[in-house]
Amino acid sequence: GTAVHKKLGNVSVKLAAAFLVGSAGGTFIGGYINKSLYDKDPLLSEAFISTVYAVLLGFLGVYALIDFIKSRNAKDTGDAHGGSSGMTELSLKVQNVNIPPAIRFDEDYVPGGRKISGVIVAMGGVVVGLLAAIMGVGGGFVTFPMFVYVFGVSSMTTVGTDILQIIFTAGLAAISQYAIYGYVFYTLAMGMLLGSLIGIQVGALTTKVVKGVHIRGFYAVSILAGFINRAATLPKKLTELEVIDLSKPVVQGIESAGNIIFWVVVSIFAVWVISKFVMNIKLLRGEDESVSPVLVKEEA
């Protein structure tokens, strides 16, 4: 994925390098926090991870949903990868912060490119690295909105750069904080990796034939479904920690409801993506030249 985006000019090595400087430090900080909690009480560590997950997904889901509603009302197709076509007020302020070194990016999308302080990018990396170590994720679902809405990076550059940084951030977190302690299920990881190779191709091609506002809508709903799923596990963990007192049937019912909602939403999203892909195979192959795909260009 990184190689393809690099050929298309969608990878900013400087942005990725500055981001990785911060994410490396954040990885060790997050790992230390998680290990300290686990050594004190494994249940406390699990509750902490689920709480962070729920809060983060809830915030991102609500933000994405608001962005989707605004875009739909404005009849803005936006960007196929889910980001707004323009820059936010926050990103403009962030780019005006003059702290050296300055990093230039998006030269292919904006005359002269844009610039941002490498220190700010590194600080963002610390946050993502910390989350990667605590939650065992690559940080992509956090990096994308951070780059687009906070840093003001074009969505295409964000996608390519994000894929590059995830390789190192996730790898460092996995090896330094989990693998050395025997917490990596390699067979499961390889199976998911092989499956994701197909999913990546289908998903990437599908973004060429759907409107960006629809992608944003499903992204928001999926993130909120993840929030409900993680939040539904909290009663069980808090009961185990004796913070609250709920009966076992109630706890199991809440957790089951969260799982059902999550998988229903994910299944609907999967069916929608696959159906769009299948219905537009000829178009994607270029066999039907009378119809043009819904390609969305990044606006300055």
Q: Which of 58-62, 80-84, 125-129, 233-237 has the lowest mean pLDDT?
A: 80-84
User: Residue 227 domain-assigned?
Assistant: yes
Residue 132 confidence (pLDDT): 76
The answer to whether 115 touches 26, Cβ cutoff 8 Å, is no
Residue 86 has pLDDT above 60, yes or no: no
Higher pLDDT, residue 229 or 88: 229
pLDDT of residue 284: 67
pTM: 0.67
**Does residue 295 belong to any structural domain of this protein?**
no
Q: Assess if residue 206 is contained within a domain.
A: yes
Q: Is residue 106 part of a domain?
A: yes
Do the beta carbons of residue 231 and residue 258 sit within 8 Å? yes
pLDDT of residue 255: 92
pLDDT in tens, 140-183: 677 878 888 888 887 777 777 877 777 777 676 677 666 666 76
pLDDT for 106 equals 81
Q: Which of 262, 215, 280 is nearest to 85 (CA)?
A: 215
Quick check: 247 pLDDT over 70? yes
Can you list the pairs that 273-280 forms with residues at least 24 positions away whose Cβ atoms lie under 8 Å? Answer: 273/202, 273/203, 273/206, 274/202, 276/206, 276/209, 276/210, 277/202, 277/205, 277/206, 280/206, 280/209
Structural domain contains residue 251: yes
- Give the dihedral of Cα atoms 152, 220, 20, 90; nearest 10 deg: 30
Q: Is residue 178 part of a domain?
A: yes
Counting every residue written for the chain, the total comes to 300
Look at residue 290 and tell me whether its pLDDT is greater than 90.
no
In this predicted structure, the answer to whether residue 98 has a pLDDT above a threshold of 50 is yes
Q: How many domains does the chain have?
A: 1
Indicate whether 299 belongs to any domain. Answer: no
How far, in Å, CA of 29 to CA of 34, rounded? Answer: 9
